[in-house]
Amino acid sequence: MKEQLERILEAATKQLKAASDPEKLEEMRVQYLGKKGEITSILKQMGGLSPEERPKMGQLANSIREQIETELKAKSDQIKKELAAKKLEAERIDVTLPGKEITIGRPHPLNAVLDEVEEIFLGMGFDIVDGPEVETDHYCFEALNMPRSHPARDTQDTFYINENVVLRTQTSSVQIRTMEERNPPIRIISPGRVYRSDAVDATHSPLFHQIEGLVIDKGITFGDLCGTLDMLMKKLYGKDAQIRLRPHHFPYTEPSAEVDLMCFNCGGKGCSMCKNEGYVELLGAGMVHPKVLEGCGIDPEVYSGFAFGIGLERITMGRFGINDMRLLYENDMRFLGQF
Amino acid sequence: MDLSLKWLNDYVDVSDLNIPEICHGLTMSGSKVEKYETEGEDISKVVVGKILDVKPHSNSDHLVITQMDVGTGSPVQIVTGAPNIREENIGDLVPAALDGSSLPGGKKIKKGKLRGEVSEGMLCSLDELGLTLHDFPYAIEDGIFILKAEDGRELVPGMPIQQAIDLNDTSIEFEITPNRADCLSVIGLARETAATFDRELKVNAPSFKGAGGKASDELSVEITDKELCSRYMAAVVKNVKIGPSPLWLRQRLRACGVRPINNLVDITNFVMLEYGHPMHAFDIRYIEDKKINIRRAAQGEKITTLDGVERELSSEMLVIADGKKPVAVAGVMGGEYSGIMDDTVTVVFESACFDGASVRTTAKKLGMRTDASSRFEKQLDPAMCEPALLRACELVEKLGCGEVMSEIIDCTNGVKVRRTAPFDSEWINRFLGTDISEEEMLRILSKLDIKVENGIAYAPPYRGDIEYKNDLAEEVARFYGYNNVPKSIIRGVAEGELTEGQKFTRSLRRAACATGAYEICTFSFISPKSYDKIRLSAGSTLRKSVEITNPLGEDTSVMRTTLLPSMCEVLSRNYNNRNAEAFLFEVGTEYIPTGAELPVEQDRLVMGAYGQGYDFYTVKGAAESIFDILGISGVEYTACTAEDDVFPDSTAFHPGRCAVASKNGVKLALIGELHPDTLANYSIGTRAYAAKFRIAEMFVAAEEKKYKPLPKFPATTRDMAVVCSDDIPVAELEKAISEGIGKILEGIKLFDVYKGSQIEEGKKSVAFSISMRSHEGTLTDEQADAAMKKALKKLSEMGASLRE
């Protein structure tokens, strides 16, 4: 009997080595270990053994059974693994094929930059105020210390609807409306479209966007204006951004300044991008003229403030390196898709 | 304003500074330099040459061979074809361009042979040096420039030509702001320069000796319109000798961009440039009745101006008239015969002050902005008439070109303005955020001729811009240095926030982006023809738009009452630029006239699309997603087959493929396929789609989002296909199903619409997948079947039956 068992073990081991698929393993399990399997049938013959031999043979039979069982399991695991690996191998794809296109909409570059500027000012405690684009002469000029005879009002600059109504030439009109409606302290920006009668070319457009800023409170200084603009430019262009202020003239501010940004290309040394000036003109600013404050019912002896107007096109073009303003209004998909 | 650097140095010595330093300093103190150019920079190795010998060329009739002393010790041979170089020119000095020299326009001169004779260079004409007869009136146009030693200078062979003829000045171009008319002058800029670099300003008060006599004996002056003319001064110069001005004067005019003409005219231009106060010179022969009257023109009165153009005047224009007719348009331009001619004997110098606004309006109306008008329009001060006139008289005597009558004429309207502003150094420091000493402030102000006494600053007459204490703060800040002011942060705490409306618009733009559309930005003005292109009806209210009276062109002449044309144009541009597809949106403004002074400006969202994958339902799907994300539920869609009352631009759409979306009866959006004619009008060769949304109405319709518990029990789904008449909209079928099933209805999903051979003509089969769910328990089959039965009953009421 012992020999029988050992033969079984030998045969099973041999068969296992040759087995290569799960079906064969199942067959073997039935053949050797099943209810009618070879080991079971041998165990059934145990009755014919002597009481001394019985436990020995029992032990041997069980150990052989366990051995076959273990080997079957090992083999089975191995085959499963191989099959899984084969399947993965068969499922190999060309990962260099392009991905499936998902159309994602995008904001217009002007609005993308405007959103950013608005966030900066919201963070600095400014509200955002809108105002009409078709505006009265009063709000666009008169209240901004530009009486009828002022050169800035030449028809060559301003679009007129009638004698008293114009397309606003600057967002400063919103300054006046705000000062009339709110009491200081005031901190607002007013972004929007403005109109000048300039023919379209690479750097001019009859319509463009300005972001007007206005701060009115007790004790607002020219230094505050410099500090605010400096902070804006650093947030917009990074810590290395440097501005410089040049004296200028606007009828509605005094003192007035033009603000230049140091050319990023040459770091102020002068290059072709900044026309050798080292700086690029960016915006106009100044301390609100006492006449303007008075006109809005704000006492210039008590309050002071500053205002500035930033050209959105200019900072957008600078930000993305766009060299022709017309691209912004042509709205070609190939252009819009770049932002 | 172009400034001669030499002239500047006459008044303030900055010869030790290099030009970029000067330019930068002035720019930073408020006189912005646009650019600068140095004369003669493009000329090299051109020297004074002395003609030692002239011989004919054996091989040519028109060439001559010269031997030239060019300062090198031994003579050089130069061949020239100029007709004005002959034997009698031996000893003359001429410009000689040597071997390797360069001339304006990049021309290079090299040693060579002319018909066998060596030529070591070229003799130059005026033109070859980039000059004209105006600059050197004694030269000739077609020939070599034979030099004269002017202004007592000594010309030596070998001397660089730039030095010999004063062709080495630098012209600096300034951008002068309109408040500083005084800086449209050499002295004004010299004063700024002196203050900027802390130098001494050397300006002498002008004066003249006079040759006796009274100007008033020759001429009478009367100001009829004292409002528009505050002062009129006149001097009379007798026995004038008209001729060219000396080199120094011509050179300074040239560097300031003014063409020299003759000594008398040059003097008026010189004074205008020097003092910033325009002058005029009349020939007294043409002043009828020897009477000058400053009055308004009669309506329709005519004058032929110096430029030879006859101009019709109107009654608000100020003129200088003689006893009979206007002889000049005040402050703008003189009349044709009033100017100086070669045979002029007696000259009247005018130095006057006119109302700035009036000059500006007149110049604009007549379409002639002159050097004079551009100064007068900035409102000059009457006090400046006198130094200007005296300077002109002084120059006449200096140039020896006439006898100035000792007594001059001075008519004024008697109005004198003393310009003052309160000065308070502490306030200025508080206002600027600086800590500048009062002494420093006073030093700066005194450099600008602003005197401070007892807390009051007195500005000189030419500084009409000094009025408020802010103005003084600016003067201090300018020369202290704007960029030396310490940067500070605004004190106090403020909270900035968007309004609910602004937040909504931002969400809307984000939602539109999320549907895959690209944002566009278009002009607010359009052509009125656009209204025809989008097929607005003849009586459409949208045809009434805000019109621009002075548009750049018809294309941009009216403010849009609808965003559709702008969108169509962009779709068209993209289509014609061969972009295969486009899906776009814009949040823009429509300008609706209401009869009030200002129109209503209403914001709208417009979307547009064409290309593969886009159809009516894509755009409608985008609209549905936008409504959903913004919290607008229960939107109903109805077909829009004709002009809509809220969306009169619905006529732009295909009448069978256009829908109005509304909620509770409020119309929110218009969605559709563009009408074939609209497409044709915009040259779009494919179907295109658009939608327009009313933002304010959507804002009202949007509900705050609230969490609904996730379902605890499973849903039951049943499919159903019904056959009905083709003209029943699916929305009606869905409504019937919804009513039949009641509150256990969770959703209806349309999955098929079929028309064709399997179905009776005029009918369609519509298949839905209906999902039902109860929050109280799992639905039984019986419950679901019963609900479906009810739905079917409702459907059958409208003529729809279960598809067999």
Q: What percent of chain A has pLDDT over 70?
A: 99
Of A155, A206, A228, the CB nearest to B556: A206
What secondary structure, in 3-state letters, does B68-115 show?
EECCCCCCEEEEECCCCCCHHHCCCEEEEEEEEEEECCCEEECCEEEC
Cα gap A39→B82, rounded to integer Å: 132
pLDDT in tens, A81-120: 999 999 999 999 999 999 988 888 999 999 999 999 999 9
Of A122, A161, A257, the CB nearest to B546: A161
State residue A188's pLDDT score: 95
pLDDT band at A21 (very low <50, low <70, confident <90, very high): confident
User: How do the domains of chain B map onto residue ranges?
Assistant: 2-39+169-197, 44-164, 215-412, 423-483, 500-701, 716-802
pLDDT (average), residues B638-655: 95
Q: Using the predicted structure, report yes or no on whether residue B338 has a pLDDT greater than 80.
A: no
pLDDT (average), residues B676-686: 97
Cα gap B251→B98, rounded to integer Å: 25
- The residue written with tokens 């002196």 in the block is B194
CB-based contact B470 A187, cutoff 8 Å: no
- The residue written with tokens 């079917």 in the block is B792
State the pairing for strand pair B64-69/B44-56. Answer: antiparallel
Which CATH architecture fits B423-483? Answer: 2-Layer Sandwich (3.30)
CB-based contact A331 B570, cutoff 8 Å: yes
pLDDT band at A152 (very low <50, low <70, confident <90, very high): low
- CA quadruple B31, B34, B35, B39: dihedral sign: negative
pLDDT band at B599 (very low <50, low <70, confident <90, very high): very high
Cα gap B746→A129, rounded to integer Å: 43
pLDDT in tens, B577-596: 999 999 999 999 999 999 89
CB-based contact A328 B521, cutoff 8 Å: yes
- Closest-approach residue (CA) in chain A for B599: A134
Put simply, the chain B residues between 557 and 586 with a CB less than 8 A from any chain A CB are 559, 570, 573-574, 577, 579, 581-585
Of A105, A123, A333, the CB nearest to B515: A105
pLDDT band at A72 (very low <50, low <70, confident <90, very high): confident
If DSSP codes are grouped into helix, strand and coil, which group holds residue B57?
A: coil
Q: Please, are residues B235 and B388 in contact by the beta-carbon 8 Å criterion?
A: no
Strands (E), chain A: 127-128, 134-136, 160-162, 165-167, 186-195, 207-217, 243-250, 253-262, 279-288, 304-311
pLDDT band at A68 (very low <50, low <70, confident <90, very high): confident
Q: Using the predicted structure, report yes or no on whether residue B238 has a pLDDT greater than 70.
A: yes
Put simply, the chain B residues between 366 and 385 with a CB less than 8 A from any chain A CB are 377-378
Q: Please, are residues B258 and B5 in contact by the beta-carbon 8 Å criterion?
A: no
Of A103, A111, A332, the CB nearest to B579: A332
Asked: is B716-802 a CATH 3.30.70.380 domain? The reply is yes
- Please name which of A291, A237, A287 lies closest in space to residue A262, comparing C-alpha atoms: A237
Instruction: Identify the CATH class of B500-701.
Output: alpha beta
Chain A partners within 8 Å of B517 (Cβ): 105
Of B465, B485, B574, the CB nearest to A333: B574
Global confidence as pTM: 0.85
CA–CA min distance B752, chain A (Å): 26
Q: Please, are residues B718 and B725 in contact by the beta-carbon 8 Å criterion?
A: no
State residue B745's pLDDT score: 93
Put simply, the chain B residues between 619 and 678 with a CB less than 8 A from any chain A CB are none
- Closest-approach residue (CA) in chain B for A185: B494
Strands (E), B653-790: 653-663, 666-674, 688-694, 716-725, 745-754, 763-772
Query: Which comes out higher in pLDDT, residue B493 or A281?
Result: A281
CB-based contact B470 A254, cutoff 8 Å: yes
**H helices, E strands: number in chain B:** 21, 39
Q: Please, are residues B731 and B636 in contact by the beta-carbon 8 Å criterion?
A: yes
pLDDT (average), residues B508-527: 97
Cα gap B189→B770, rounded to integer Å: 85
- CA quadruple B426, B432, B436, B438: dihedral sign: negative
CB-based contact B488 A227, cutoff 8 Å: yes
State the Cα torsion A10-A15-A17-A18 to the nearest 10°: 150
Do B2-39+169-197 and B423-483 share a fold?
A: yes
Q: Which of B426, B448, B484, B487 should one mutate to test binding to chain A, selecting the residue with the greatest count of A CBs within 10 A?
A: B487
What secondary structure, in 3-state letters, does B102-154 show?
EECCCEEECCEEECCEEECEEECCCHHHCCCCCCCCCCCCCCCCCCCCCCCCC
Cβ burial of B119 (10 Å; 0-12, 13-18, 19+) is: buried
Written as six digits, the tokens of A312 are 């959105």
Question: B524 CB contacts (<8 Å, ≥6 apart)?
Answer: A133, A193, A195, A207, B559, B560, B588, B589, B591
- Closest-approach residue (CA) in chain B for A222: B432
Q: Please, are residues A114 and A328 in contact by the beta-carbon 8 Å criterion?
A: no
Cα gap B444→B476, rounded to integer Å: 6
Q: Which helix (H) or strand (E) holds B456?
A: strand B456-458
Of B178, B490, B577, the CB nearest to A224: B490
Q: What is the CATH number of domain B44-164?
A: 2.40.50.140
Written as six digits, the tokens of B610 are 């064409």
- Closest-approach residue (CA) in chain B for A279: B24
CA–CA min distance B631, chain A (Å): 20
Asked: is B2-39+169-197 a CATH 3.30.56.10 domain? The reply is yes
Cα gap A54→A47, rounded to integer Å: 8
Put simply, the chain B residues between 8 and 37 with a CB less than 8 A from any chain A CB are 27-30, 32
Cβ burial of B257 (10 Å; 0-12, 13-18, 19+) is: middle
What are residue B192's phi and psi, to 5 degrees? -60, -40
Find the range with the poorest average confidence among A143-157, A204-218, B100-114, B511-525. A143-157
pLDDT in tens, B413-438: 877 777 899 999 999 999 999 999 99
- The residue written with tokens 């106009």 in the block is A284
Chain B partners within 8 Å of A187 (Cβ): 490, 494, 496
Put simply, whether B473 touches A (Cβ < 8 Å) is: yes
Chain A partners within 8 Å of B599 (Cβ): 134
CA–CA min distance B547, chain A (Å): 6
Q: Using the predicted structure, report yes or no on whether residue A80 has a pLDDT greater than 70.
A: yes
Put simply, whether B803 touches A (Cβ < 8 Å) is: no
Q: Which of A331, A334, A338 should one mutate to test binding to chain B, selecting the residue with the greatest count of B CBs within 10 A?
A: A331
Query: Which comes out higher in pLDDT, residue A40 or B392?
Result: B392
Which CATH architecture fits B215-412? Answer: 3-Layer(bba) Sandwich (3.50)
Please, what is the average pLDDT of chain A? 90
Number of other residues whose CB lies within 10 A of the CB of residue B608: 29
